[in-house]
Chains A and B, each alone.
Chain A
Amino acid sequence: MKTLTQEFTKGLWEQIPPFRLVLGLCPTLAVTKSLEGGWGMGLATTFVLVCSNIFISALRNVIPPKVRIATFIVIIATFVVITELVMKAYTPMLSETLGVFIPLIVVNCIILGRAEAFASKNGVGRSLLDGLGIGLGFTLALAVLGALRELLGTGKLTMFAQANLDLTIIPLGEGREFLFKFMVDPPGAFVCLGAMLLLMNLISERSARSKAA
């Protein structure tokens, strides 16, 4: 049995969703054109994940096993709608950037996966920490990927477009929009994700080797 701290921290490295579990790839590839898209998507998912984990673990003894998936989806959809409406109201620009991928959180396999594999078998406290850890790990991964792609692709980092918090890291010439456009194109997402996976495996392989030595 893991300690409560471990339940939280496992999502940040050893089970970090897109790289280790290779789950939730659809938003990972689609919204990481910018740093803002990355963390925005990550936080929205985290909120839904935490809330749905709490509810599902609280109701886990009530839900009949035969209809559990349908029940999970109803619970998840509730929070997704809340998220979507709140984002439309308070962060309209971010909502615009993420577009259809916010409603699509309903079918995000990370959330359903955690509900099925974890929340329906564990207590509320553990489920909360698990959801928070996994969610923040997802946010971290998306933000890193988004930052990398945006920096290489356009030379900028959009922290939060609504508050005009953009940083220009590499200044471009007059009338130029892109530094290396391939990186913000869809194929660039695959290449970047592949590179990140390579890096993750390399690091854990190195550390495992040094531990063994």
Chain B
Amino acid sequence: MTNQRLVVSISPHIKNGRTVRRMIVTTIAALMPATLWGFYQFGLDAVALVAVGITAACGTEALISRLAGKTSSLGDGHAVLTGLVLALLVPAGAPFWLVIVGAAMAILVGKMPFGPLGGAPIYPALVGLLIVATSWPNEIKSYVQPTTAPIELKAQGAADAEFPRDAVLIDPSDEAEYKTADLFLGKQVGPIGVISPLLLLLGGLFLILRRVSRWQAPFGFLIGMGLAAGIGHALDPSGCASASFHLFTGSAMFGAFFLCTDWSSTPVTPWGMFLFGLIGGGLAVLLRIAGLPYGAVPWAIVIMSLATPIFDRITPTPFGKVASHA
């Protein structure tokens, strides 16, 4: 009789081979079309900013891991994703140090204090972005003219009021100047990675089909934005741009598909995800109309992230249990 000792472990004994690293790599891959479009529109400046962002994020994470005496978690690629997302959310004209500080803050304040991956209550890249955005409100708006935008960027420094860095500051009476199709195809002014709703939509759908993210939060977000903007536009056409304009400008698509689908900072239950997106989308439109000086979508998502534990309580009724009417 063999006296061989075999490995004993709990079931299941097979896995689908999915790892954190692979899921993050898939997310990065889904971001690539929009990133390349940004590179095409903004040229080498954009490439340099993205490279700097990724390097700064990885560098900070390596440094902190070393100082804290932990094994480096660089291998899972989350630092790369954080740096990339941060760089995609700043305009191509932003100074390098802005991205470096942002990436460092994202890791230092947004990620590392909360322990290993999965602890961060707010998407780390958003923490970094909003820290630099509140600190340097002018630099974060250094938009540059993209190669194929249908309209000329007016005087560089004073461009604020005229360009859709976020839909709020557009005078809705100018809306006729922007063709919705142009906006959708990515011919608009904005941060590096968010100007092409089409490519972001494709990337997001890819993630959903690959089962890396779920449809509930992104589509809830888009529905929420569409509803809020539609109602606002119907009530006051001069005060609120149309739903399509809101959906195709600023970081709406990016937020829906890549920020609302973060892991630890968003809910995991079906209705929780959907309501998270729905309310977040409405909030984003509200913040745009109310005239938040910068980043209505990021702020809306950050605010919703803080409410994630509440949304996570909206669990479905388990199999065979009677729905409680509490």
Q: B113 to A182, Cβ gap below 8 A?
A: no
With both beta carbons as reference points, the residue of chain A lying nearest to B132 in the complex is identified as A182
B306 to chain A, nearest CB (A): 12
Complex contacts, B135 vs chain A, CB 8 Å: 178, 180-182
Interface residues of A, CB < 8 Å — how many?
8
A165 on the B face (CB < 8 A): no
Collect the chain A residues with CB atoms within 8 Å of residue B132's CB: 182
How long is the Cα–Cα vector from A194 to B108 in the complex, in angstroms?
Answer: 12
Q: Which residues of B contact A185 (CB under 8 A)?
A: 134
Q: How many residues of B contact A (CB 8 A)?
A: 9
Report whether A191 and B109 are in contact in the complex, using a CB–CB cutoff of 8 Å: yes
Contact check: which of B109, B113, B136 meets A181 at CB < 8 Å? Answer: B136
Chain B: interface secondary structure? helix
Residue with the highest number of chain B CB atoms closer than 10 Å, among A178, A181, A182, A185:
A182
Of residues A178, A181, A185, A194, which shows the largest number of chain B Cβ atoms within 10 Å of its Cβ?
A181
Q: Determine the distance from Cα of A181 to Cα of B105 in the docked complex, in whole angstroms.
A: 13
Interface members, chain B 86-121 (any A CB < 8 Å): 101, 105, 109, 113
A154 CB to closest chain B CB, in angstroms? 11
- Report whether B134 and A194 are in contact in the complex, using a CB–CB cutoff of 8 Å: no
Q: How far is the CA of A191 from the CA of B134 in the complex (A)?
A: 15
Residue numbers in A under 8 Å from B113 (CB-CB): 194
Distance between Cα atoms of A191 and B112 in the complex (Å): 13
CB distance from B308 to the nearest CB of A (A): 18
Contacts of B131 in A (CB 8 A): 182, 187
Where chain A touches its partner, the secondary structure class is helix
Min CB–CB distance B46 → chain A (angstroms): 25
Tell me which residues across on chain A come within 8 A of B109, comparing CB atoms.
Answer: 191
- What are the interface flags for B131-147 relative to A under an 8 Å C-beta threshold, 1 for contact and 0 otherwise? 11011100000000000
Q: Which of A167-197 contact B (CB under 8 A)?
A: 178, 180-182, 185, 187, 191, 194
* Distance (whole angstroms) from the CB of B99 to the closest CB of chain A: 15
Least Cβ–Cβ distance between B120 and chain A, in angstroms: 14
Query: What is the distance, in angstroms, from B322's C-beta to the closest C-beta of chain A?
Result: 44
Residues of chain B within 8 A of A191, CB atoms compared: 109
Residues in A neighbouring B101, C-beta threshold 8 A: 180
> Residue on A with the closest CB to B101?
A180
Chain B's nearest CB lies how many Å from the CB of A185?
6
A180 neighbours in B (Cβ, 8 Å): 101, 135
Q: How far is the CA of A187 from the CA of B134 in the complex (A)?
A: 11
CA distance A182 to B101 in the complex (A): 11
Distance from A63 Cβ to chain B, minimum over Cβ atoms (Å): 44
Minimum C-beta distance from A205 to chain B (A): 12
Bound Cα distance A25, B113 (Å)? 20
Return A173 CB to nearest CB of chain B, in Å. Answer: 11
Q: Give CA–CA (A178, B134) in the complex, Å.
A: 11
Complex formed: what's the CA distance from A178 to B138 in Å?
A: 12
Which residues of the partner chain B approach A187 to less than 8 Å between Cβ atoms? Answer: 131
Q: How far is the CB of B168 from chain A (nearest CB, A)?
A: 21
A203 to chain B, nearest CB (A): 14
Q: Please name all residues of chain B whose beta carbon is closer than 8 Å to the beta carbon of A178 when the two chains form the complex.
A: 135
- Report the bound CA distance from A181 to B138 in whole Å: 12
A194 to B114 alpha-carbon distance, docked (Å): 12
Whole-angstrom distance between the Cβ of A9 and the nearest chain B Cβ = 31
Complex formed: what's the CA distance from A181 to B131 in Å? 9
Q: Complex formed: what's the CA distance from A193 to B135 in Å?
A: 19
Distance of A185 Cα from B135 Cα, bound (Å):
9
Tell me the complex Cα distance, A77–B131, Å.
39
A174 to chain B, nearest CB (A): 13
A105 CB, nearest partner CB in chain B, Å: 30
User: In the complex, which residue of chain B has the Cβ closest to the Cβ of A188?
Assistant: B131
Q: Smallest distance from the beta carbon of A148 to chain B beta carbons, Å?
A: 15
Report A128 CB to chain B, min CB distance, Å. 40
A156 to chain B minimum Cβ distance, whole angstroms, is 16
- Complex Cα distance, B133 from A185, in Å, reads 12
Residues of B within 8 A of A182 (CB): 105, 131-132, 134-135
CA distance A180 to B101 in the complex (A): 10
Rounded to whole angstroms, the CA-CA distance of A137 and B40 in the bound complex is: 57
Residue-by-residue, is B276-288 near A (CB-CB < 8 Å gives 1, otherwise 0)? 0000000000000
Given known contacts A181-B135, A182-B105, A182-B134, what 12 new A-B pairs fall within 8 Å (CB)?
A: A178-B135, A180-B101, A180-B135, A181-B134, A181-B136, A182-B131, A182-B132, A182-B135, A185-B134, A187-B131, A191-B109, A194-B113
5 contacts between A and B (CB under 8 A): A178-B135, A181-B135, A182-B132, A185-B134, A187-B131
Interface residues of A (CB under 8 A from B): 178, 180-182, 185, 187, 191, 194
Closest A-B pairs by Cβ, 5 of them: A181-B135, A182-B135, A182-B131, A180-B135, A191-B109
